[in-house]
Amino acid sequence: MDKLMNDEKHYVTLNNYLRYKYHTKVARISLNAGLSCPNRDGKISYGGCIYCSSNLSGDFAGEKTKPFKDQFDDILSIMKLKWDTNTFIAYLQAGTNTYADIDKLRKIYTEILSINHNIKVLSIATRPDCINENVIELLKEINKSVEVWIELGLQTIHEKTALLINRGYQLNTFEYAMNLLNEANIKIIVHIINGLPFENKEMMIETVKYLNNYNLFGIKIHMLHIMKNTYLGNNLLKFKELGFNSLTINEFVDITTTQLRYLNTNTIIHRLTGDAPKDLLIEPTWTLKKFVVLNEIDKHMRKNKIYQGDLCIK
């Protein structure tokens, strides 16, 4: 993957990887199957993670009341304003998209893949505690015809933080899911969050170092968004009284670029910041300037001549 880095980007971007593989721009279409989450419906908890909105991390996904074809067409019409492309990733973003019986999941996946013959990838966001052997067999079946990516929300390896954010599972559950997926040759993308309450730089770096133990296809590094109508947003003053502060943009750039240095170059960087609806975001407001954040990361890496993986122990 080293060859996908260049003078501008000192890390392996998803865009460069997809252009190298498909020789064109690939658009990701975010869909909503209306599936719930065991951390919200009472199976594990009713509260969900303390930062998660009522849209279950699908604030920019399709409208769940619409058929998948209509969701796809709605989002594609917006995409076409930016890019002229006919190659797609269908992304089941909102909710926990392996959290249903197998027949229902098969119907969902099959219906989505029938929308457009130029869907090259089915990317499925889910939780490690919703990966089991039956799900694995279905994913293997789908993977024979269309490439399947599984996106797992890890956020942190630190159990104390996991309890604080009400993640709802322990690290060994994540490890079990990773091993099942690796054995099935399903590509895995892991989500982590920088700036979780009371984590320091060293703890965030430890999370990335740990991920090098696995055959990891991709990573999404998010900044913690504090939004209205979430537990964290509603209790932000209490957290601040205990010493919690959101990362500044400079802190985020420093931490994230250091994480990239420890991350092996076989891992594709799918995201280095995140999006939150402007009307819901409390802080940090600097995250609204997504391209500024990415530019600061690039400038920092170029200025200091640092690259993804240059501190990674091979």
Instruction: Identify which has the larger pLDDT, 157 or 54.
Output: 157
Indicate whether 35 pLDDT > 90.
yes
Check whether the bond before 284 is cis (ω within 30° of 0): yes
Domain boundaries, the chain: 2-303
Give tens-digit pLDDT for 118-143: 999 999 999 999 999 999 999 999 99
Are 130 and 98 within 8 A, CB to CB? Answer: yes
Query: Domain 2-303: what homologous superfamily?
Result: Aldolase class I (3.20.20.70)
Give tens-digit pLDDT for 201-250: 999 999 999 999 999 999 999 999 999 999 999 999 999 999 999 999 99
Are 295 and 245 within 8 A, CB to CB? Answer: no
Give the span between the Cα atoms of 27 and 119, in whole angstroms: 9
Give the span between the Cα atoms of 236 and 240, in whole angstroms: 6
Give the span between the Cα atoms of 65 and 58, in whole angstroms: 13
Indicate whether 200 pLDDT > 90.
yes
- The b-or-e profile of 132-163 (16+ CB within 10 A means b, else e) is eeebbebbeebbeeebbbbbbbbbbbbeebbe
Indicate whether 61 pLDDT > 90.
no
Instruction: Using DSSP bridges, classify how beta strands 268-271 and 119-126 pair: parallel, antiparallel or unpaired.
Output: unpaired
Contact partners, residue 249, CB within 8 Å, separation at least 6: 284, 286, 292, 293, 296
**pLDDT of res. 84:** 82
Q: Any idea which of 72-86, 174-188, 278-292 has the lowest mean pLDDT?
A: 72-86
Residue labelled with tokens 């939780």: 127
Indicate whether 9 pLDDT > 70.
yes
* pTM: predicted TM-score of the whole model, two decimal places: 0.94
Give the span between the Cα atoms of 90 and 148, in whole angstroms: 10
